Structure 1
Amino acid sequence: MTILGDFHMHSQFCPHGSDDTMEQYVQKAIEQGLQAVSFTEHAPLPLEFTDPAPTNDSVMNWHDVDVYLKEGNRLKQKYKQNIVVHIGFEVDYLLGFEKETEKVLNQLGSNIDDAILSVHMLKAPNDTYVCLDYSANEFGRIVDLFGSIDRVYDAYFNTLKAAIASDLGAYKPKRIGHISLIDKFHKQFHPVRHIEPVLEEILDLMKQKHYSLDVNTAGFYKEWCGVSYPAPEVITLAAEKGIPLVPGSDSHLAEHVGRGFDRLPSDLLFSLPTRS
């Protein structure tokens, strides 16, 4: 197994992250012998959408975007002899806000090298929105709101399917983030139905669209999860289907760059991110 880089990293511009600087992330990646990294900060939400997280800290602020891009470009030049630095965003798919999200992508897309499309927020039965990965307590509230654990899982996977099928314009990301993020609290909130069949359906949809898979190791280290997003057997299935695998630590601390890569199946072949 050869992993050339870490292509899912957050920075000091993430309100729920740390104060570690982008430069510290780059230096840590160089120490580990990585050849490339992608900063994929949580893109600002459309102005028409209100962050549903209890502390309203899901994404970076619009006023930080220019500073973030400028710092990324500075690091590209400073470390170009040592490592390739990509600057980009992790974009939230928001059911019902596709046109507004397309506007965000049109504002940001021409200035970045890499991007991930992820589902963190679900539309609830009462037409409010919820942040599914905020905390175990909040997830419990979401389960009550939906009526059962399985209904929350159904909503997540249906939203993920909609994200894959959606038209978000020319700058829609071509990599789908942590497709089993819904499992973050599965040891406490375990669905009745097995999720493997729907995950294979998700992979088939990604294959049809020529999308790549975020192989996300953060789940290994979550208290109520303990497994990557998605699980190693699903990653292997994706590889068998010919879906490009792009590794990412989803780090919010510099010391977590590359964390968990050694726990992935050793026979996998990984790809570099692409914007095409």
Structure 2
Amino acid sequence: MIAYGDFHVHTPFCPHGSNDQWEHYILNAIKLGLSEISFTEHAPLPISFQDPVPNQDSAMAWSDLDMYLKKGEQLKLQYKEDIKINIGFEVDYIDGYQEEIQSFLDQYGKQIDDAILSVHMLKAPDNQYVCLDYSATEFANIIKQFQSIEAVYKHYYQTVLSSITVDLGQYKPQRIGHLTLIEKFALKYPSPFNDQTIIDEVLNKIKANHYSLDLNTAGLYKPDCLSVYPKLEVARKAKEIGIELIPGSDSHQSTTIGRGFEQIRELLKP
């Protein structure tokens, strides 16, 4: 029986997820003995931003926002005796779109219970944007665009640093998502980049801003990763310096709620 919550879960409103009914996520969480669950759907991308993935399905549609929030509120009431449900967003930090991101947060921040700030999109040297976790094939193309895998890693962590320090207003998410997502394809494209110094800088900025970290088990089930995000040595360092680790499965289907939590149990002990 799992004694904690799953705080990074998606819904049928995710266009690249499953068609599982929202209620099934909740029922599986209750079955696992979770006391709390956060639905953090991919917030709509800035209107002026061109989604770089082929199907342009990285985030929920603007037209679904009101229905998402309304349905979420209904479910919170329906299951309030069984589990605490939080409704929120996983917000993309995209370099160059800070004003639009803050505008979204200013408009919807007061309506949500939880949020994560994540980096999926990188600004390439040609000023076009790429999605770093779309596929191994696309990651190979990104390496070519940046001219080296070291340059990709370095730019990713610099973008994460920017996400931590940028002013996005009073509703800026206080949790940083899947910190080592850049390693999703690390077994296929290993990097010689020594990221210890820049990761230490990232952790220190997270600590200084009193933010928490998404302890994300999804990477355990990615064939070219097989690791939690952030990787264990980073998660341990974060815990050592007093950063709160928040467990999340990053589920895009109802059957993976709480998946892999047995592998992070030690990190969640006080």
1:27-46 to 2 correspondence within 5 Å? 27-46=27-46
Give the aligned partner of residue 56 of structure 1: 56
Deviation string for 1:131-178 (max 9, x for gaps)? 000000000111111101010001100000000000011110000000
Which residue is equivalent to 1:151?
151
The residue that corresponds to 1:244 in the other structure is 244
Deviation at 1:2, TM superposition (A): 6.9
- The answer to whether the Cα contact below 8 Å between 2:215 and 2:235 also exists between their aligned partners in 1 is yes
- When residues 85 and 57 of structure 1 are mapped into structure 2, their CA distance, relative to the original with a 3 A threshold, is same
Q: Which residue does the alignment assign to 1:233?
A: 233
Q: Is the 8 A contact 1:90 1:117 kept in 2?
A: yes
Please state whether the residue corresponding to 2:266 is helix, strand or coil. coil
- What code does the residue aligned with 1:231 have? K
Matched-pair contact (CA < 8 Å) for 2:2–2:32: no
In the TM superposition, what are the counterparts of 1:1-276 in structure 2 within 5 Å? 3-266=3-266, 268-269=268-269
- Report the residue type matching 1:188 in the other structure: K
My pick for the range that moved more, 230-239 or 111-120, is: 230-239
Query: How far off is 1:194 after superposition?
Result: 2.5
Distance 1:269 1:52 in 2: 39
- Cα distance in 1, alignment partners of residues 215 and 199 from structure 2: 14
TM-score by length of 1: 0.95
For the structure 1 residues 223 and 136, does the alpha-carbon distance in structure 2 shift closer, same or farther, using more than 3 Å as the test? same
- Residues 10 and 108 (structure 1 numbering): CA distance in 2 closer, same or farther, change over 3 Å? same
What residue ranges of structure 1 are gaps of 5+ in the alignment? Answer: 271-276
Partner amino acid for 2:235?
I
Quick check: 2:2–2:34 contact (8 Å CA) kept in 1?
no
Deviation for aligned residue 1:11: 0.8
Instruction: Find the aligned partners of 1:195 and 1:2 in 2 and give their Cα distance.
Output: 33
Note the C-alpha offset of 1:268: 3.0
- The residue that corresponds to 1:273 in the other structure is none
Give TM-score, length-normalised by structure 2. Answer: 0.97
Contact 1:3 1:247 in 2 (8 A): no
